[in-house]
Structure 1
Amino acid sequence: MASEIEERQKESINHLSIMHIFCIIVALLGVLLYGNNINPYNTGSICFYMSLNFIWLIILLYKLEKHLVQKNGKYLSLFNAIYISFPLFIAITTLFIENENIFYLKVIFILPVLFAASVMGKRAGMVMSTVCSFFIVAYEIIAKGDPFFQAFESSLIMISIMYIVGWFVGVLIDNDVQYQEQLKENILSLNEEIKHRKQVEQQYRKLSSVVEQSPNIIIICDTEGKIEYVNPTFTQITGYSYDNAIGKELKPGGYDPGKFKQLWELVKTGEVWQGEFCNKKKNGEEYWESATISPFRNSEGVITHFLKIAEDITERKKVEKEMERLERLHLVGEMAAGIGHEVRNPMTTVRGFLQMLRRKDEFVNHMKYLNLMVEELDRANSIITEYLSLARNRVVNFKMQNLNSILEALLPLITADAMNSDKNIIMKLGEISDLFLDEREMRQLILNLARNGFESMSSGGILTVGTFMDGDEVVLSVQDQGQGIEAAVLDRIGDPFFTTKENGTGLGLSVCYSIAARHNATIKIKTGSAGSIFLVRFKPGRDKEVLSGTAAKTVLM
């Protein structure tokens, strides 16, 4: 933009230069003019005037240099006054030195009028015309002795020409000056506008970058709920591309339509809605959002768009659910620790007396019932044993050992269970790190998961047990070929006494979760129509929490 200003200033300088050069040509023509075969100037006078014009040309070049140097193109008034007075001085000097041909002497007074009008505008041109008219009339009165009115009348044509030239050239210069000033103001205004737009664009880029890089889902839709913008996080989480989403209706896939209609009516009134709801991805998978939907208003306060900012809280929901389940396990564990032994003691007494009765001959006819009671007491005792496994204050014996060794030791027992139920077992053991484990609890965990897998499959099914490393975590995998787990059942897996089996106790998986928690491990389940996979992930750090440089240690959990 600065280059444009300089370009306009150069154009103005060129205009003034051409005007001044024209005036020089007029002066030179006046000096060299011959009229009616009469030479109005002698040789000495011509040399004198040529010298004066040469001096004037030097002054003009100096003034042009000032034009190019000064940024605002304005000059000192005193310098301008001297500059425009110099041609007047030439004209007056000519008038009084050369008096042979008065007609040619009058013509030379057009020169200072041109200079004044071209340098300082119409007002200076009119003033200079008045001054020159005064000198012409004064010369007529003094040189010829004519009365004032006669002198004025004889010079009226020349005076009129000077006023016309001063006015016309001055108007052109004033218009050019006004144009230059207006152009400068417009350019300055344009500079401010461009600067403001650059600031706005920079701010827009910052906001756009924040929106594009936001870890939250950001959606903008119109008042009808049609999506107009989604950020990259939306496409990453949902699986929908930008083009797939634009123009679609903003409607959560897993949310009650009636509740969403109420939500939409609320935000249309200008209110802000905050809450959580379940949505669906492109592949049908559900995820949870913590969302805020707020209106956009224009300068008149009219709602034009709606903004939705949502956070994916699926993992948080899972953690909360896991915490709730662990709390239930802890509660049951505390109950088990409190009443488990108290229940087992009288049962042991009853079982002892039943064994005594079985040895007496008078109860031979009742042996069938006595054996049934003993079996049921043993079954109840096994349930209590599992129940006590939920207790947090049970003693565990951690030793540095390899999970593969425990699995290899259990393989014959698991194989026998598989053969008895007409199933198959495949064991894939990878290279894994040693862990601090309680062998007895690990055996119980593995057997519970394996037997659950066998029970979920039909004859000929294959159970795959394996181990592998996932980063710094050791993973135990138990995969069956059953029918999968229903969503309603999956939500309650691990709850004490919850079972889908006719003769189940509902404690097997609860015990597995308790054992995993004591070993700083988590149990994750992947299920589908082709079967389920139970993944027990052992996190590093148990050695820091339980053992410190020792081979084994007994800990009261």
Structure 2
Amino acid sequence: MDNLFTYIANIDILLPPSIYIEKILQVLCDKLGYSFSSVIEVDEQGMGWMIASYNLPANYPHDVNQKAPVLSSPSGEAISTGHIVVVNNPSQEPRLAAWYDMINQYNIKTIIWVPLISNGTAFGTYVLYDTRLRNTPQEELNVLKQISVMISIAIYSNNYLDQLNQKTSELEKEITRRKQIEITLREKESFLAGVIESIQDGLCVIDSDFNIIRANTTVERWNFQQRPLAGKKCYQAFKGRTEICDRCPAYDTLTTGTSSYVLVTMKDPGGDIVGWKEIYSFPLVLKKLDKIEGVILYVRDVTEKLKTEQEMARLEKFNLIGAMAAGIGHEIRNPMTTVRGFLQLLREKKECAQYGGYYNLMIEELDRANNIISTFLSLAKDKPKNLQIQSLNAIIESIYPLLLADATVSDLNITLELNNIPDLYLDPEEIRQLILNLVRNGLDAMSPGGTLTIKTYADRGEVILAVRDEGSGISPEILGKLGTPFFTTKDNGTGLGLAICYSIADRHNAELQIETGPGGSTFSARFKLNSE
């Protein structure tokens, strides 16, 4: 018997439980002389099925209930009593009547049912069949009972393994499902990120505590010194503040639950306005909770848009004034000419000689008004063009002596920086007037000793005429009104000089730009090449 356990001990316990049980049955049959063996498990309803066997005939039914209910056989006695049942001459056992054919076919003389017990309850048996009539001593029965424990443990291990495999399978399915969800989420995140990054305007998401959750590349670029932005307070990252900004659209949205809008100015370190941004805020609502969790901010730089609108408004004023000038200019000059003629006539009469000074003053004022009207007429949109291929440098050089004389009177200097530039389609008279107006404005802006620079150069398909003074710059309040007809900061100005410059530039398909600061101002006329 000791050798029996030695052989069993040599069986690899890491084998699958069903194979491990078959190995035990094989040792029992080989070492104790049984012909074949099987293991039957019974459920709570008394249904039995074979879970392992050794050397069992091929036609032996594996469904033990196929012949007769398990509990009505000696197997049921072993299960109900918890004791080993030995039947010699089983062909004479009434409880095995359903199995007589099988018993006689294989000449089975002895059958032993050994109960399988767990937690004090039998859940099945293992069965030993012998073609010899056996006299089973108590020592052998004790051994069979010990082996029952090994088989019971193996069966429960097998059950646990089945449950583990089932749980593992379920876990693998769950992992697969979660991985698929993760892939789907990554794809959606990638798609959403692509959409967000493709937006050229600024897009930013903040939570209800004003912490930045996400910002697209445009916002990161605008606030590159604060990167990364995620996790920072929006008012700290965007404005360098320690508290919520005034007129904060995000605060309005979080408070009211509705979208909000604000137009904010952008300023340089000196406090001057350099642009504008529109900020739209929309509530970020979680559908499940129906609660606002944050705010989506959409930011658009509208500097160029507003500048274009201002330019369009200015041009519209020019068009209106030009139309007025063309329509009523001559009608006003005609009666003025008549009045001037009669004043000259009266001035020559002896009886009016004592009022000569008054007549002269009225004639001078009429001449001044006539000069203003002549200038006003130059704003007319439908003024005929006289464009010819001209050298801009040559036009500047032709009037340079006149400009230099004006500068010398005021103890100022003028320098020329004329670079090699292509010829343009120009109206020489209008370009002279443009240069004269820009230069005289620059001279008026400087103190004695200053230098005004006239520069020409080519840049990216354009020819630039730049007039730079060394004045004190133009304040933002005045800058926005420059070019408006009849707006002037000079005591004796008409407010038409710069307006005429804009009109001339427009007729030459050119753009007039202004750059100003504490060190002076630069007025640049940008002419497009091959523009007629």
Normalising by structure 1, what TM-score?
A: 0.70
Query: How far apart in 2 are the matches of 1:335 and 1:251?
Result: 52
Distance 2:506 2:166 in 1: 83
Q: Please say if 1:278 is aligned against 2:265.
A: yes
Kept after mapping to 2: 8 A contact 1:252/1:279: no
Distance 1:374 1:252, change over 3 A: farther
Q: Structure 1 residues 353 and 421 mapped into 2: Cα distance closer, same or farther (>3 Å)?
A: farther
Is 2:458 the partner of 1:472?
A: no
Give matches, 1:138-537, under 5 Å: 143=133, 160=145, 164-227=149-212, 229-237=214-222, 240-242=225-227, 246-249=232-235, 260=247, 264-280=251-267, 284=271, 285-298=273-286, 299-359=288-348, 363-537=352-526
Structure 1: distance between partners of 2:490 and 2:354: 34
Task: Assess, with a 3 A threshold, how the Cα gap between structure 1 residues 261 and 314 changes in structure 2: closer, same or farther.
Answer: closer
Match for 1:473: what amino acid?
Answer: E
Residues 463, 478 of structure 1: 8 Å contact kept: yes
Name the counterpart of 2:56. 88
Whole-Å Cα distance in 2 between the matches of residues 454 and 490 of structure 1?
18
- CA distance, structure 1, for counterparts of residue 396 and residue 55 of structure 2: 117
Answer yes or no: is 1:539 the counterpart of 2:524.
no
* Counterpart contact for 1:498–1:506, Cα < 8 Å: yes
Residue 383 of structure 1 deviates from its aligned partner by 0.4
Aligned residues: 452
> Partner of 2:79 in structure 1?
none
CA positional deviation for 1:17: 5.9
d(CA) in 1 for partners of 2:449 and 2:291? 68
Aligned-partner Cα distance in 1 for 2:152–2:20: 20
Q: Is the 8 A contact 2:473 2:516 kept in 1?
A: yes
Cα distance in 1 for partners of 2:520, 2:215 equals 37
Residue 373 of structure 1, CA deviation: 2.5
Measure how far apart 1:349 and its partner are: 2.3
What amino acid is the match of 1:290? E
How much does 1:264 deviate? Answer: 2.7
Shift of 1:235: 4.2
Task: Give the Cα separation in 2 of the matches to 1:287 and 1:318.
Answer: 9
- Quick one: distance in 2 between partners of 1:25 and 1:166? 8
Cα displacement (A) at 1:24: 4.9
1:527 Cα deviation from its structure 2 partner:
0.9
After superposing the two structures, state which structure 1 stretch, 444-453 or 222-231, moved more.
Answer: 222-231
Deviations 1:463-507 (A, max 9, x none): 111111120011110111112111111111111111111111111
Q: Residues 506 and 294 from structure 1, CA distance in 2 versus in 1: closer, same or farther, beyond 3 angstroms?
A: same
Distance of aligned partners of 1:16 and 1:283 in 2 relative to their CA distance in 1, 3 Å threshold: farther
Shift of 1:370: 3.0
Is the Cα contact below 8 Å between 2:220 and 2:229 reproduced in 1?
no
> 1:374: how far off?
2.5
Once the two structures are TM-superposed, the CA of residue 231 in structure 1 deviates from its matched residue by 3.5
In structure 2, the CA distance between the partners of 1:251 and 1:241, relative to structure 1 (3 Å rule), is closer
Distance in 2, Cα, partners of 1:26 & 1:420: 128
* 1-structure distance, mates of 2:223, 2:503: 34
Displacement of 1:20 in angstroms is 3.7
Deviation at 1:307, TM superposition (A): 2.0
Q: Assess if the C-alpha contact under 8 Å between 2:253 and 2:281 holds in 1.
A: no
Structure-2 change in CA distance of 1:214 and 1:241 (3 Å): farther
Report if aligned partners of 1:221, 1:250 keep a CA contact under 8 Å in 2: no
Report the Cα offset of residue 326 of structure 1.
0.7
Note closer, same or farther for the CA distance 1:265–1:209 as it changes in structure 2 (3 Å cut): same
- The residue number in structure 2 matching 1:553 is none
- Range moving further from structure 2, 523-532 or 161-170: 161-170
Quick check: 234-243 or 287-296, which moved more? 234-243
Task: Work out the CA distance in 2 between the residues paired with 1:171 and 1:426.
Answer: 105
Between the aligned residues of both structures, percent identity stands at 36
What amino acid does structure 2 have at the position aligned with 1:294?
F
Q: Deviations over 1:500-545 (max 9, x none)?
A: 11111111111111111111111111111111111111134633xx
> Which amino acid is the alignment partner of residue 287 of structure 1?
G
- Is the 2:17–2:158 Cα contact (8 Å) retained in structure 1? no
RMSD: 4.1
Matches within 5 A, 1:39-118: 87-89=55-57
Partners of 1:261 and 1:20 in 2: CA distance: 75
Q: Name which of structure 1's ranges 451-460 and 350-359 shifts more when overlaid on structure 2.
A: 350-359
Check the 8 A contact 2:206/2:234 in 1, yes or no. Answer: no
Look up the match of 2:77.
Answer: none
Question: How many angstroms apart in 1 are the aligned matches of 2:174 and 2:438?
Answer: 78
Residue identity in the other structure for 2:257: G
- The answer for unaligned runs of 5 or more in structure 1 is 1-12, 42-48, 53-79, 97-104, 115-124, 544-557
Inter-partner Cα distance in structure 1 for 2:223 and 2:142? 92
Question: Deviation at 1:432?
Answer: 1.8
| Cα distance per residue 1:318-339 (max 9 Å; x no partner) | 0000101111111111110111
| Worse overlay, 236-245 or 291-300 | 236-245
Partner of residue 5, structure 1: none
For residue 15 of structure 1, report the CA deviation from its aligned partner: 4.2
Deviation at 1:202, TM superposition (A): 3.1
Between Structure 1 and Structure 2, the one with more helix by share is 1
Note closer, same or farther for the CA distance 1:517–1:106 as it changes in structure 2 (3 Å cut): farther
Query: In 2, are the aligned partners of 1:226 and 1:248 still within 8 Å (CA)?
Result: yes
Q: CA deviation at 1:317?
A: 0.4
What is the letter of the counterpart of residue 275 of structure 2? Y
8 Å CA contact retained: 2:247, 2:262: no
Aligned residue for 1:395, secondary structure, equals coil
Residues in 1 aligned to 2:142 and 2:249: alpha-carbon distance in whole angstroms:
92
Cα separation, partners in 2 of 1:17 and 1:243, compared to 1, 3 Å: closer
Q: 1:292 to 1:244 in 2, by over 3 A?
A: closer
Query: Relative contact order: is structure 1 or structure 2 higher (C-alpha 8 Å, sep ≥ 6)?
Result: 1
Q: Distance in 1 between matches of 2:474 and 2:303?
A: 20
